[in-house]
Structures are given as C-alpha cells and as structure tokens.
C-alpha cells in the first residue's frame, strides 16, 4: 500500500563537528524517502563544520555560539516541512528512518510526536543493540507486546516513564511543526548550564512540555545509531542523575506547563534519584557529592543503609581509603573480572 509522504525538515545542530557531521549527512541522503530539506545550524563553530555541511547540500544557518537548545530552536523556526526530525551531528540514521515516519504518521494522524528504538556504539564498536527493549519503564508505558512494531502511548504514561529516566534518543524524535508553533514549544534556553553538581536534561524538559498536548507514537525498530564519546553525558551520569532531581523541582514549580502526572511522578521519585546519584558518585570516587546526596535523601526519609554508605564514603575520602579503593578496582579488572568471565563462558568456546 502506498503511504503518502509527508514533508520533513531535518534539523541538525552542530558545534565544531567538521570531523563527524559527514556521517550524519550521508545517512540522511541515503534515506529511502528523501526529506524536504536538511538544516544544519552552525552554532558558532571555529572549524569547517559549515563547509562540510554545504558540500553535502545542506542549508547552513550560522549563528553565534548559544548552545544546543538555541541551535535546535533556530532550526525549528526555519523549518518548512510538516514534520521536524531531529538528528545530532555525530549520530546516524538507518535508511528507513523517514519511511517509518511516514508510516507512523499515516497510521495515527491524530498524534503529533514520535520516536523509535536506537542502538548505541562507543569507540567504533556496538555497546547496546536495542535501547527500548532493555528499558523496563518504556515496556510498562507501552503495554502488552503486539505483532506490530508501532505503538500509541498515552502522554501521561510516557511522562511517568520519563520521570524514571530518559530512554529516548534525540536523533529518533519527530514532531509535527504545526504543534510546535501553535503552542510555542521551544527548547528552554534558560535552563541552568552544566555545573559541578548537576546537569539538567533540556531534552526531557522539552519532551514533557510537548506531551502536554499530544500522545506519542513509538516505533520498535532500530532507526538510528547513537555514538557515545568520552564527553557524552553518559560519562558523567552521577551529575545527570542529580540533574533529574533539579528538573523535578522545576517541573513541580509549574506543573500545568507539563504532561499530566509529570510533577507527581518526579515528586514520588525524588528520594530514589538522590540515592541513585549518591551511589553513582561513590563508585566514581566523588565522595563529597555522594555524602551531600545521601544527606538530602536522609532528610526525605531516614535509612540505616544510606547512613552506613555515607559514613563509608567519608572513610574512603582520604589517602588511605582512596588507595585501598584503587587497589580493589585494579584487582577486579586484572584478575577477578577475567576469572568470572572465564567461568561464565561455555565450555570449549
């Protein structure tokens, strides 16, 4: 059956991505359904990002360095397509990405926002084959598995799932342009920048405002590859997790701006987020931050386990303690982990 092809504007924010953006653009040009336009917002790059993008036929929009939220907003403002499809400059699309967007929008014309599954790779090697399949909160929000790879997910259910943690890949997002303009749904450029303590997700904040107005389409097919780098947010996950606490505070201050149930979900998860951040900080040796997060969690509700962990972080936060921790990690990496892997591997392999 022929599916009418909606017009799609591809928006790619880029800052000093001359070495990586070619792969992203090649993946767009390889689509089985071509987009209406490719907009590369050059966010004040000092390298050849604009020249590379122009060579691939993209429309380059230059601005001074204002950050990724402002760059995405500029691309959305300039987009002429019925749909905006987001792509980060270091990620890649599968050739059927826009084909599936057309199918999903035809199947559910009443829904204005969607996403797909994606894989993750680091240092040129796959590290996660399917993000959605391993995410419990997504499976709960989706409901019972069906034969179709496309699901409609209610806005409240998806908002509760996102409060647990972000499992959406920005490079899989597609949203109807008319919805964004009707409700002025721009990425929030006023969110606090990354600090020593936390990093607030501009992506989740925006998703939850979009989900005030529409349900979502989920496509359970891997249609993008997320490339993880040493400077990716995932490398500072303790700070990102504490950022969820701060984001929850912001959402609870103006609950009517967000999807139904989002504020309540973040409130109920506040202590869990604090404890999670604390344990991540302990594992990475950030003991001062760990004790601060434990203290906040204890004010919510006292736990002897957390009190012990906080005391342990204080004991480890000295020369002798750090030395012992370093020795234990080295022993695990060099001796114990290979031994465990050998025991788990099938005989004769």
SS3 126: strand
Q: In 10 A of CB 348, how many CB atoms?
A: 4
Q: Quick check: 235 pLDDT over 50?
A: no
- Token digits for 84? 């905006």
- Domains contained in the chain, number: 2
Query: Would you say the C-alpha torsion 239, 244, 248, 250 has a positive or negative sign?
Result: positive
Plot region of 114 (φ>0 → left; ψ -120 to 50 → alpha; else → beta): beta
pLDDT of residue 1: 46
Give the end of a domain, one of 229, 260, 289: 229
- The verdict on residue 234 lying in a domain is no
Q: Is residue 236 part of a domain?
A: no
Domain boundary among 229, 256, 278: 229
* pLDDT over 70 percentage in the chain: 87
Whether 143 contacts 158, CB under 8 Å: no
Task: Verify that 17 and 68 share a domain, yes or no.
Answer: yes
The mean pLDDT of 136-157, rounded to a whole number, is 93
Q: Give 36's Cβ-side CA count (13 Å radius).
A: 15
Question: First-to-last CA distance in the chain?
Answer: 47
What is residue 146's predicted lDDT score, i.e. its pLDDT?
85
Q: What is the largest CA-CA distance in the chain?
A: 69
Q: Is residue 349 part of a domain?
A: no
Rounded-to-integer distance, Cα 65 and Cα 14, Å: 10
Q: Using 50, 70 and 90 to split pLDDT, how confident is the model at 345?
A: low
Per the prediction, the chain carries an average pLDDT of: 89
Q: Which long-range contacts does 275-281 make (Cβ < 8 Å, 24+ apart)? A: 275/306, 276/241, 277/238, 277/241, 277/242, 277/245, 278/306, 278/309, 278/310, 279/309, 280/237, 280/238, 280/241, 281/238, 281/313
Question: Of 15-24, 187-196, 271-280, where does mean pLDDT reach its minimum?
Answer: 187-196
Q: Is the pLDDT of residue 335 over 80?
A: no
22-31, 144-153, 293-302, 331-340 — most confident range: 22-31
Least confident segment among 53-57, 69-73, 142-146, 256-260 = 142-146
The percent of residues above 90 in pLDDT, for the chain, comes to 70
Q: How confident is the model at residue 336 (pLDDT cuts 50, 70, 90)?
A: low
Pair 193, 324 in one domain: no
Q: Are 94 and 223 in contact (CB under 8 A)?
A: yes
Total Cβ atoms within 10 A of residue 81? 18
Q: Say if residue 168 is in the same domain as residue 59.
A: yes
- DSSP string of 220-282, one letter each residue: EEEEEEEEE-TTSGGGGHHHHHHHHHHHHHHHHHSGGGS-TTHHHHHHHHHHHHHHHHHHHHH
**Within-domain flag for 158:** yes
User: Is-contact 236 199, C-beta < 8 A?
Assistant: yes
Q: Is residue 348 part of a domain?
A: no
- Do 140 and 253 sit in the same domain of this protein? no
Asked if 24 and 106 sit in the same domain, the reply is yes
Q: Residue 235 falls within a domain, yes or no?
A: no
> From CA 244, how far away is CA 252, in angstroms rounded?
12
Contacting residues for 264 by C-beta, under 8 A, at least 6 apart = none
**CA-CA distance, 9 to 35, in Å (whole number)?**
6
Pair (173, 31) in one structural domain = yes
Band of pLDDT at residue 348, cut at 50, 70 and 90? very low
Q: What value does the mean pLDDT take over residues 251-278?
A: 96
Closest to 79 measured CA to CA, from 112, 38, 21: 38
pLDDT of residue 34: 95
Which domain covers residue 200, as residue numbers?
8-229
Q: Cα–Cα distance between 227 and 338 in angstroms, integer?
A: 27
Residue 238: the pLDDT is 79
More confident residue, 331 or 39: 39
Residue 167 predicted with pLDDT over 60: yes
In a shared domain, residues 189 and 300: no
- pLDDT of res. 316: 82
Helix (H) or strand (E) holding 106: helix 97-107
pTM, two decimal places: 0.87
pLDDT score, position 233:
46
**What is the reported pLDDT for 220?**
96
The 10 Å Cβ neighbour count of residue 344 is 7
Shared domain for 147 and 250, answered yes or no, is no
When pLDDT is cut at 50, 70 and 90, the band that residue 5 belongs to is: confident
Burial class (CB in 10 A: 0-12, 13-18, 19+), 306: buried
Task: Map residue 186 onto helix, strand or coil.
Answer: coil
Q: Identify whether residues 90 and 166 lie together within a single domain.
A: yes
pLDDT of residue 231: 52
Segment 105-115 mean pLDDT: 96
Q: Are 176 and 214 in a shared domain?
A: yes
The answer to whether position 78 is within a domain reads yes
Of 212-226, 274-288, 300-314, highest mean pLDDT: 212-226
Measured distance CA(167)–CA(162) in Å, rounded: 7
Among the three residues 199, 229, 259, which one is the final residue of a domain in this structure?
A: 229
Mean pLDDT of 139-145: 92
The CATH number of residue 16's host domain is 3.90.550.10
- Checking if the pLDDT of 326 tops 70, the result is no
CA distance 197 to 239: 6
Same domain for 211 and 70: yes
Asked whether residue 199 falls in the same domain as residue 330, the answer is no
Residue 317 lies in a domain: yes
pLDDT band at 77 (very low <50, low <70, confident <90, very high): very high
């Amino acid at each position: 059956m022929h599916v009418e092809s909606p017009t799609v504007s591809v928006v790619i924010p880029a800052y000093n991505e001359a070495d990586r953006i070619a792969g992203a653009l090649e993946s767009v040009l390889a689509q089985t359904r071509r987009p209406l336009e490719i907009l590369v917002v050059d966010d004040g790059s000092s390298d050849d990002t604009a020249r590379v993008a122009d060579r691939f036929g993209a429309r380059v929009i230059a601005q001074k360095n204002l950050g990724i939220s402002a760059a995405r907003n500029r691309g959305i403002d300039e987009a002429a397509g019925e749909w905006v499809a987001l792509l980060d400059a270091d990620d890649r699309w599968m050739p059927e990405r826009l084909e599936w967007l057309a199918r999903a929008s035809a199947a559910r014309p009443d829904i204005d926002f969607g996403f797909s599954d994606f894989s993750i790779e680091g240092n040129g090697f796959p590290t996660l084959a399917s993000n959605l399949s391993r995410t419990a909160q997504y499976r709960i929000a989706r409901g019972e598995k069906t034969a179709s790879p496309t699901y409609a997910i209610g806005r409240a259910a998806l908002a509760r799932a996102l409060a647990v943690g972000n499992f959406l890949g920005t490079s899989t997002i597609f949203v109807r342009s008319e919805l964004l303009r009707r409700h002025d749904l721009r990425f929030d450029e006023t969110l606090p920048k990354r600090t020593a303590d936390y990093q607030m997700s501009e992506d989740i904040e925006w998703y939850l405002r979009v989900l005030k107005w529409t349900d979502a389409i989920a496509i359970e097919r891997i249609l993008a590859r997320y490339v993880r780098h040493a400077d990716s947010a995932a490398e500072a996950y303790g700070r990102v997790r504490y950022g969820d606490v701060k984001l929850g505070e912001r959402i609870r201050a103006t609950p009517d701006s967000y999807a139904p149930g989002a504020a309540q979900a973040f409130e109920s998860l506040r202590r869990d987020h604090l404890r999670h951040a604390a344990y991540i900080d302990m594992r990475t040796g950030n003991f001062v931050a760990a004790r601060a997060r434990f203290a906040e969690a204890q004010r919510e509700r006292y736990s002897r386990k957390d009190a012990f962990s906080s005391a342990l972080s204080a004991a480890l936060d000295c020369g002798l303690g750090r030395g012992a921790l370093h020795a234990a990690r080295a022993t695990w990496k060099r001796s114990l982990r290979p031994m465990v892997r050998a025991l788990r591997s099938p005989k004769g392999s």
